[in-house]
A and B are shown apart, each in its own frame.
Chain A
């Protein structure tokens, strides 16, 4: 008997065992590993200081704040779909409304978590509650993020409570499933919609005002920031809901017809056109006078250092998905809508990247030798500008937080009744 023949059954056994590993468990295991690596990297960063990032005094906000803004924006989809559906009587969202509020909850939670690695003394976070400065937009933002998170969690619970109670889940918090109870839930959902919609608008506006109220940064100091943040949040939020809904439908966790996908695609196209309009209004107002101001961030954006990012945002991020969704026959295909949604999310990410980096890319006052860098590792003390690319540490921490979000979402999808009764 040859060695090969003898090893045959053994090899087959291994294959079978690997084949039997529950893909859900493998996925959760993978996420836990990424989370652990991210957490360890964060400990490394806290111990050694934020110098392990590529942030310096010239570009002092980067990857973490960018992901904070981005996830605040992504959380828009949920409460808009849920509360606008209630307030304006759009009933066709019903099959995905639970997914939407769950998405909002996880996204806003991740946004808050992304603030942690950004601050230099995370162990002093309680100072925010002990010594709040009410003139600081950051305090307003922490208040609205907290309120929005509470609202989202309440919504998730209201939408799933009765089904959880029927299944005798402890998550129903001891309540029972009665027709009267379901009616009461509906009344609460209606009442909360009146708070949730303004809260969603405020969430994006206040996040914009963290930047837009700073007269020190000419590129940001603009009244269009708040409306633009609302618009880009709507684009990325609705796009993410579309993608997640299609994924969950494929896994059999949701069921809805392609008409809803097409409807959401049309909505996305409308939001993209609003965003494009605001970008045009901003660029035209800043560029038309032809006056050099603050190192001319508009010129850097249109033709200079940031031109590739800006024109990518305009052509691939806005124009392409808009045209993919423009024709009714094109957006009838869920694949097309999903592809357009994915591209639109990338476009909004690039938009925000451009916003943060261009706003910080030139030293205030702009006279040589610039501002002090803050560290002396290259022998230089000053810089006029600084081309910021996130370091490995920043990527690992971001990956860790994202994995945490994915884990939370996976577990919620596994344990919460996302499919409404009757669908």
Chain B
């Protein structure tokens, strides 16, 4: 069976908001020159993450995500939100920012009965919300719990839609897309551009000299839940030193 490509989303005929940015901002978000066949990946430096939720909040506004749903969230390594753990008598804090892990072996794609979730040539795991029947099997299959269902009419704090992406139909599943609409403009995902600590790095995993490839090599970028064999393209750099409070 051949995968039938979904209809491309139609982009309204208007100037890209990226072009409206100041040159310095545009430059800050530019993806480093990729290889001929890029395979996008992300590195999260847990040593740098300060648990501020900037990436989670900008994700919501960039992608028009309604109230109650989050494509990106920050897990605290501890007993409660922003509570420290005590190890060998010293208190420590660390966080695990979590969004779609863009698995090389994605369980969600395997179980979707209608091929509504699929892998693009550049490795991005995508959703076709016009095909999704809303069975939520992908949410069962995802070991990271990063998918969210549209349970009703989307609610927004002031009733206004935000960001650069059309809202998804009721009764379908949605998730992080690596901001594919920004990738098309040569810009990194909005969580990467917004991180005040520079804890997120985006780039081409097919290029052995890209910053992400070097960081994964040099600092042994870990996969989350590696034992499940999902082989994520999002890698986590372990902290090199303890961060006592």
Residues of chain A whose beta carbon lies under 8 Å from any beta carbon of chain B = 48-52, 55-57, 60-61, 115, 118-122, 124-125, 127-128, 130-139, 142, 210, 214-217, 360, 363-365, 367-377, 381-382
Q: Mark B118-150, 1 if CB is under 8 A from A, else 0.
A: 000000000000011111110111111111111
Among residues of A, the one whose C-beta sits closest to the C-beta of B82 is A368
A132-B114, A364-B142 given; name 17 further pairs at CB < 8 Å. A49-B151, A49-B171, A50-B151, A50-B171, A119-B171, A120-B149, A130-B114, A131-B115, A131-B116, A133-B112, A136-B110, A216-B107, A367-B78, A368-B75, A369-B75, A375-B155, A382-B73
Contact segment of B36-44, B62-70, B185-193, B215-223: B62-70
What are 29 A-B pairs at a CB distance below 8 A?
A: A48-B153, A55-B151, A57-B149, A60-B136, A60-B139, A115-B135, A120-B136, A121-B133, A121-B134, A121-B171, A121-B172, A124-B131, A128-B114, A131-B115, A132-B115, A133-B115, A136-B113, A210-B137, A215-B143, A216-B143, A217-B140, A364-B143, A365-B145, A367-B96, A368-B76, A374-B69, A376-B66, A381-B68, A382-B73
Of B142, B147, B171, most A-chain CB atoms within 10 Å:
B171
Which residues does chain A contribute within 8 Å of B172, judged by CB atoms?
120-121
Q: Are A49 and B170 in contact (CB under 8 A)?
A: yes
Q: Does A363 contact B151, Cβ atoms closer than 8 Å?
A: no
B81 within 8 A of A: yes
A133 and chain B: residue at smallest CB distance: B115
Quote the shortest CB–CB distance from A334 to chain B (angstroms).
42
* A134–B67 CB distance below 8 A: no
A135 to chain B, nearest CB (A): 5
Q: Which residues of B contact A56 (CB under 8 A)?
A: 151
Contact of B111 among A128, A136, A372 (CB under 8 A): A136
B79 partner, pick from A118, A125, A368, beta carbons under 8 A: A368
**B228 touching A120, Cβ below 8 Å:** no
Q: State whether B111 touches A120 (Cβ < 8 A).
A: no
Contact B145 A363 (CB under 8 A): yes
Q: In the complex, what residues of A have CB within 8 A of residue B21's CB?
A: none
Could you say which residues of chain A place their CB within 8 Å of the CB of B166?
Answer: none
Check B114 against A376 for contact (C-beta < 8 Å).
Answer: no
Q: Is residue B4 contacting chain A, with contact meaning CB distance below 8 A?
A: yes
Q: Are A214 and B141 in contact (CB under 8 A)?
A: yes
Q: How far is the CA of A373 from the CA of B148 in the complex (A)?
A: 8
Grouping DSSP codes into helix (H, G, I), strand (E, B) and loop, the A interface class, with mixed when no group exceeds half, is: loop
Give Cα A372 to B51, complex, Å: 17
Q: Is the CB of B111 within 8 A of A373?
A: no
Q: Is the CB of A48 within 8 A of B136?
A: no
Q: Mark B70-103, 1 if CB is under 8 A from A, else 0.
A: 1001011111110100000000000010100000
Instruction: Chain A residues near B98: list those with CB within 8 A.
Output: 365
**In the complex with contacts A119-B135, A216-B142, A376-B225 CB distance below 8 A:** no
User: What is the bound-complex CA distance between A135 and B105, given in angstroms?
Assistant: 13
Question: Which residues of chain A come closer than 8 Å to B107, judged between CB atoms?
Answer: 214-216
Contact pattern, B 168-181, Cβ under 8 Å of A = 1, otherwise 0: 01111000000000
Q: In the complex, which residues of chain B have a beta carbon less than 8 angstroms from the beta carbon of A49?
A: 150-153, 170-171
Q: B113 touching A142 by the CB < 8 A rule?
A: yes
Query: Is the pair A381, B141 in contact by a Cβ cutoff of 8 Å?
Result: no
B55 CB to nearest A CB, Å: 14
List residues of chain A with CB within 8 A of the CB of B83: 368
For A381, list chain B residues within 8 Å (CB): 67-70
Docked Cα-Cα span, A52 to B170, in Å, equals 13
- In the bound assembly, the distance between CA atoms of A190 and B215 in angstroms comes to 66
- Contact among B140, B171, B224 with A120 in the assembled complex (CB-CB below 8 Å): B171
- Given A60-B149, A138-B135; A131-B77 close (CB under 8 Å): no
Q: Is B1 an interface residue (CB 8 A)?
A: yes
State whether B69 touches A138 (Cβ < 8 A). Answer: no
B111 contacts A214, C-beta separation under 8 Å: yes
Q: Which chain B residues lie closer than 8 Å to A125 at the CB level? A: 133
Q: Is B229 an interface residue (CB 8 A)?
A: yes
Q: Which residues of B contact A51 (CB under 8 A)?
A: 151-152
Q: Which residues of A contact B153 (CB under 8 A)?
A: 48-49
Q: Evaluate whether A132 and B1 lie within 8 angstroms (CB atoms) in the complex, with A372-B73, A373-B68 already known.
A: yes
**A372, B148: Cβ atoms under 8 Å?**
yes
Q: Which residues of B contact A137 (CB under 8 A)?
A: 111
